[in-house]
């Protein structure tokens, strides 16, 4: 079945007692046994919940994977997957990852004896040069937040395959509609489902999808052992949202393609970062592994003051953390999402004080462009 059909039906069946078309919110922490030791396959709500099971099956299908695991946030998903590794293991990670991922790895996990190397994974030779005998995971974000750098997934798989090294891709920016890393041999996909997958800015959530039986067994154990699972209501909200994922992603993409093109000709904009532009350094790689370019555009405005004045002058784009909702948002990464990344590291990959990230929503494109032009006029 095609994506738009699976987004509505995968993992969901009419409810058995009433025929309700929509999967109910199973708001229960525990399940009754008819006799001691005789359950209906459900014992405790942290371990299993039918609303969560439906969402996990739905997301696994959309990512072309066998197993889905849902979590209370994207960070909870990342914390759970990194818990598969042990002291003495080495992880290669994209240098320009989401600031919260960098903070988790540097300030929490590295204290537990796991070693991290941060490299520009859009350059395959940089990954190869960072390999060590104890490398166990290559963790990649593509496109990256907020520089939109692209890692070649086929090349990544070639580097890791057969060496006992797992690969994981944070696919948050593309959503399963535009990119399916498992199709390129990647072992795990992680999402902040807070973003496009939910898309309505009313849920914090995360997920991991895999087709690797061994990895799935470990994740199932860790999901239950760590216990950072989403509530049944949040699972229900996300299930409601995946039903329109294709339609939302098409609208985000259409607006962002048009806006990035217009911004490229603007004198006040130093650089436009968007994988759909021919000028993007990995545009060809993007075309080879993505079916669209998404709704995130980063622009360089030259100085801290210009970036702040631009953000403050926007009227439709709201200044807010997060991205991927139907409404347009603007973020100044240095003072918001990437504040925990050291200045030297940030500047190495172009995350300057003048960089602004636009999360282009699905409003009317002319209104969004007018809002941007009015804000550029004041800087």
Ligand X SMILES: Cc1ncc(COP(=O)(O)O)c(C=O)c1O
The residues binding ligand X (CB under 6 A) are 73-75, 98, 100-101, 141, 145, 170, 172, 192, 194, 204, 206
In angstroms, the CA 138 to CA 311 distance is 35
For residue 334, give both structure tokens.
């240095």
Nearer to ligand X, 51 or 172 (CB): 172
As measured in angstroms, the least distance from the Cβ of 37 to ligand X is 38
Ramachandran sector of residue 192 (left: φ over 0; alpha: ψ -120 to 50; beta: rest): beta
Cis bond before residue 254 (omega within 30° of 0): no
Q: What is the dihedral of CA 337, 342, 345, 350, to 10 degrees?
A: 40
Nearer to ligand X, 100 or 294 (CB): 100
Contacts (Cβ under 8 Å, ≥6 apart) of 177: 3, 62, 196, 245, 246, 249, 291, 292
Buried b (16+ CB within 10 A) or exposed e, 349-359: bebbbbbbbbb
- As beta bridge partners, residue 359 has 296, 329
Catalytic residue list contains 195 = yes
Q: Whose CB is nearest to ligand X?
A: 74
As measured in angstroms, the least distance from the Cβ of 223 to ligand X is 15
Determine the 3-state secondary structure of 209 from DSSP: strand
Nearest by Cα to 363 from 314, 330, 329, 328: 328
As measured in angstroms, the least distance from the Cβ of 109 to ligand X is 15
* Eight-state DSSP code of residue 107: I
Q: Cα dist. 247→5, 254, 362 in Å?
A: 12, 11, 10
As measured in angstroms, the least distance from the Cβ of 217 to ligand X is 24
Nearer to ligand X, 329 or 376 (CB): 329
Sequence-ordered alpha helix ranges (H) in the chain: 3-9, 50-62, 74-82, 99-104, 124-130, 153-160, 175-178, 213-226, 232-242, 245-264, 283-289, 304-313, 343-348, 365-377
Determine the 3-state secondary structure of 319 from DSSP: strand
Nearer to ligand X, 28 or 322 (CB): 322
Q: Of the listed 31, 46, 220, 268, which one is catalytic?
A: 46
Nearer to ligand X, 309 or 322 (CB): 322
Determine the 3-state secondary structure of 315 from DSSP: coil
As measured in angstroms, the least distance from the Cβ of 256 to ligand X is 16
In angstroms, the CA 257 to CA 268 distance is 19
Catalytic residue list contains 46 = yes
In angstroms, the CA 297 to CA 147 distance is 9
As measured in angstroms, the least distance from the Cβ of 367 to ligand X is 25
Q: Of the listed 195, 248, 346, 357, which one is catalytic?
A: 195
Nearer to ligand X, 181 or 206 (CB): 206
Nearer to ligand X, 206 or 275 (CB): 206
Catalytic residue list contains 240 = no
Q: Of the listed 6, 52, 98, 139, which one is catalytic?
A: 98
As measured in angstroms, the least distance from the Cβ of 146 to ligand X is 9
Q: Which residues are known catalytic residues?
A: 46, 98, 170, 195
């Amino acid at each position: 079945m095609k994506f738009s059909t699976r987004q509505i039906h995968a993992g969901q069946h009419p409810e058995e007692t009433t025929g309700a078309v929509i999967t109910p919110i199973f708001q229960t922490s525990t399940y009754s046994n008819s006799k001691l030791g005789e359950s209906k396959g459900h014992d405790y709500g942290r371990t299993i919940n039918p609303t969560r099971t439906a969402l996990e099956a739905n997301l696994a299908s959309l990512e072309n994977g066998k197993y889905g695991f849902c979590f209370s946030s994207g960070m909870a998903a990342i914390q759970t997957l990194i818990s598969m590794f042990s002291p003495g293991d080495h992880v290669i990670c994209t240098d320009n990852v989401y600031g919260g991922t960098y903070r988790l790895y540097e300030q929490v996990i590295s204290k537990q004896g796991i070693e991290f190397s941060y490299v520009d994974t859009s350059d395959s030779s940089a990954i190869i040069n960072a390999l060590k005998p104890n490398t166990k995971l290559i963790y990649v974000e593509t496109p990256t937040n907020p520089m939109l750098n692209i890692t070649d997934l086929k090349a990544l798989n070639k580097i890791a395959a057969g060496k006992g090294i797992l690969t994981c891709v944070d696919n948050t920016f593309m959503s399963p509609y535009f990119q399916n890393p498992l199709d390129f041999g990647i072992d795990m996909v992680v999402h902040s489902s807070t973003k496009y997958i939910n898309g309505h800015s009313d849920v914090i959530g995360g997920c991991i999808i895999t087709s690797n039986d061994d990895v799935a067994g470990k994740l199932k154990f860790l999901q239950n052992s760590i216990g950072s699972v989403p509530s049944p209501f949040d699972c229900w909200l996300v299930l409601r949202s995946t039903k329109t994922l294709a339609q939302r992603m098409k609208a985000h993409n259409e607006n962002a393609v048009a806006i990035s093109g217009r911004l490229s000709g603007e004198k006040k904009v130093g650089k436009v970062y968007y994988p759909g532009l021919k000028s993007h350094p990995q545009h060809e790689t993007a075309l080879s592994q993505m079916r669209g370019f998404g709704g995130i555009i980063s622009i360089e405005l030259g100085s801290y003051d210009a970036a702040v004045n631009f953000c403050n002058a926007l009227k439709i784009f709201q200044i807010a953390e997060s991205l991927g909702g139907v409404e347009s948002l603007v973020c100044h990464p240095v003072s918001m999402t990437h504040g925990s990344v050291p200045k030297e590291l940030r500047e190495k990959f172009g995350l300057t004080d003048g960089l602004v990230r636009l999360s282009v929503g699905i409003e009317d494109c002319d209104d969004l462009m007018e809002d941007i032009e009015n804000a550029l006029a004041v800087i």
